[in-house]
Structure 1
């Protein structure tokens, strides 16, 4: 299944929560299928219209585990680009030949030849709180100006790479995951609401979300510090499980 098909399925029940985020600053964000698709559409339109991202384009993602990271990855996959997960600065071995870098740490990328998109992680941020490098796009301000529906997006080429970089493991141990293996076929447990620990590598967390969604489920994703706090305080975790109607802990 390609991400384009997955996004269509997530909108089949548009009001159902698909991604609930518990950030380490106490932030709780809930995205229904329709709202998640809306964010992905706006981000897709930005990537296509501003940077001509398409199959074969390399989009570097230098962000922590976060709900915004998910939307940027989904939008990149929707147009058939390769998401390159980055741990650090342009010296990262995975950072070569990038067309676009999406980051919350723009100062680390001023020497890169890639186009730079700067992401503000707080939900209520309307602009980046700092000085932008020359030519960089402020995602907080820019994304909201794009259409709520995808205007044009090329279909992904199943044979092209979809995910590579830090922490990625694909078929036969390769450090590349193709578009044709990115979204797994649905397993036996369908429609399950799953708690996903945000302390894992971004690659593992993204693949876990795709697995849950492929089975028509929904995700409660925690930031790393929140995940650690829940592990240390089982009563708090039990309250969260009950409140969010969580059926499985990944």
Structure 2
């Protein structure tokens, strides 16, 4: 049955992509991201990371990897393009390839700059911009790495001015507001759920699994709900 055992399922109806990840597989990509940043880049707990990516399974791996290493994350997706970023430099940036050219003037300065093509199966990024490193190629050698050993403290910053403890409370509140509970399988429209608090953190905090749909074809919605055993549908336009 499609989705059986998957924690995170990603669809792109424009390309026909379907990528399903179990908890172990998503955890492996997240641990590899953390290792790339800590072992590969030499970053430590409290480092600041800017993520300029749309909702996507690779974005989930980047965010979870950065958070698991105790980094402070600032996030902007496609809909917020054109907004000026924080003026302070960060330690690492992750930028979507198709936006890299138009966003170069807006990306915070960083010692380590990664680009993602968001290709199916995490394939290498075509035409990597100058001064950027290809995230899929750079992270693969770290697949199989153990998760970070140092626990993240509740008082450490998760996002700007918000600690991990506070962020967890907000996520739990969002899940409760939308009736998301343990064992739920939640379908979200990426176009209506840009902030990771909604499409990633709240469902995971509630013990639910995720079906994230980009370029959602509404005519396929009923069939997808049935095929993926979805129990909650959120932010569908």
TM over 0.5: yes
Distance 1:95-1:49 versus aligned 2 partners, 3 A rule: farther
Distance 2:231 2:116 in 1: 32
Contact 1:54/1:154, CA 8 A, preserved across alignment: no
Contact 1:193/1:246, CA 8 A, preserved across alignment: yes
* 2:31 corresponding residue in structure 1: 41
The correspondence of residues 22-61 of structure 1 with structure 2, limited to 5 A, is 22-23=11-12, 24-61=14-51
Distance 1:239-1:131 versus aligned 2 partners, 3 A rule: closer
SS at match of 1:127: coil
Distance 1:153-1:191 versus aligned 2 partners, 3 A rule: same
Greater share of strand residues, 1 or 2?
Answer: 2
The answer to which of 153-162 and 15-24 deviates more is: 153-162
- Deviation of 1:199 after TM superposition, in Å, equals 1.4
Distance 1:18 1:197 in 2: 17
* 1:243 corresponding residue in structure 2: 227
Q: TM-score, normalised by structure 2?
A: 0.80
Distance 1:70-1:155 versus aligned 2 partners, 3 A rule: same
Q: TM-score, normalised by structure 1?
A: 0.76
The answer to which of 71-80 and 147-156 deviates more is: 147-156
* 1:20 corresponding residue in structure 2: 9
SS at match of 2:190: coil
Contact 2:85/2:108, CA 8 A, preserved across alignment: no
SS at match of 1:80: coil
Contact 1:60/1:95, CA 8 A, preserved across alignment: no
Cα shift readout 1:74-122 (whole Å, capped 9, x = no counterpart)? 0010011111113447x72325221111012443337853020111201
Unaligned ranges ≥5, structure 1? 1-14, 165-175
* Aligned: 1:178 with 2:163: yes
* 1:109 corresponding residue in structure 2: 104
